[in-house]
Amino acid sequence: MHRLTPFPLVLLVPLMARAEDPATLVSQASAAYQAKDYVGSAKLYEEAIEAGASPRVPAYNTACCYALLGKPDEAFTWLDKSLDAGWRDVAHLRADTDFQSLHADPRWELALKRCQELAAAFTKSLKEPVLRLELLERMKEDQRIRLERQPNLVEWMKVDADNTAFMKKVIDKHGWPGKSMVGNDGALAAFLLVQHATADPAFQQRCLKLLRQAVERGEARASDMAYLTDRVLVMAGKPQIYGTQFHTVDGQLVPEAIEDEANVDARRKEVGLGTMADYTKLVRARQ
């Protein structure tokens, strides 16, 4: 299972999803997986792909579900679809315990070999493959410190400060590191490190302009831009646009003020995010 997101995945009982909303379907598929409803999770991931979700990760996670259900043919079919769609993480694939039931199947080694070949070709196609690896390593550390049960706040601040200093050098040298430079995963890592550079709002504002331009060129995800847009606005004391930022009121997480709240779901849909209601449930479930 591929679990890395800008915020930790959480257990949430699936709601009735709207077929036209791939982001909501993906969220609900993830919740079903964590509830060990692998049949329901696979179905929701397939629906998300049909509804327009980028198939790389959903297809991979669908393969995981079928492997856990003891259905190797379906698992390999969806794993092939994930590789076709751009899955290149050989180490993750090799170590993923969801696929343990497939290891004795001759198709497993073939899948690993194909993934390795695709990863090598992908790395060769990037403008800055070494930078991509550095971004991914820093993202792992960023997530590690945030997902600890009792985070060390001093270490947390040190990690963020170091990553911010690193990203300043990257931006000065390369501009915004988009997918053709560092791949989709590297671009996600770059966004995440900037999103957490809250000690330097001016730098975040600078990066937001660059990220918007990257989105317009097809080099970055609109959903990442939405998160950073809201973070910058809230840090400046202004209403957010996409409803991604929350704060605590009387012990419960609630969204920060939202501009034109009645139309927030329409704006979220434009950037590939699920509904505000579903997102709120996800945020509160991890509280």
- Tens of each residue's pLDDT in the chain, 287 residues: 765 444 433 222 333 334 457 888 998 899 899 999 999 999 999 999 999 999 999 999 999 999 999 999 999 999 999 999 999 999 999 999 999 999 999 999 999 999 999 999 999 999 999 999 999 999 999 999 998 989 899 999 999 999 999 999 999 999 999 999 999 999 999 999 999 999 999 999 999 999 999 999 999 999 999 999 999 999 999 999 999 999 999 999 999 999 999 999 999 999 999 999 989 988 887 76
DSSP lists the bridge partners of residue 252 as: 249
* 118 and 216 assigned to the same domain: no
* 65 and 189 assigned to the same domain: no
- Determine the structural domain holding residue 78 and report its residue range: 22-125
Q: What share of the chain is helix, strand, coil (3-state, %, to 5)?
A: 65, 5, 30
Q: What's residue 5's pLDDT?
A: 44
Helix 153-174 to helix 179-195 angle, to the nearest 10 degrees? 140
> Distance between CA 230 and CA 240 in Å, rounded?
5
pTM of the model as a whole: 0.83
* 140 and 258 assigned to the same domain: yes
Contact 170, 131 (CB under 8 A): yes
Q: What's residue 7's pLDDT?
A: 41
Q: What's residue 36's pLDDT?
A: 97
* 180 and 279 assigned to the same domain: yes
Q: Is residue 155 part of a domain?
A: yes
* 115 and 173 assigned to the same domain: no
* 138 and 53 assigned to the same domain: no
Q: What's residue 286's pLDDT?
A: 75
Q: Which amino acid is at 126?
A: L
CATH number of the structural domain spanning residue 64:
1.25.40.10
Question: What's the domain count of the chain?
Answer: 2
Helix 222-235 to helix 179-195 angle, to the nearest 10 degrees? 30
* 146 and 91 assigned to the same domain: no
Helix (H) or strand (E) holding 18: none
* 156 and 63 assigned to the same domain: no
Contact 196, 141 (CB under 8 A): no
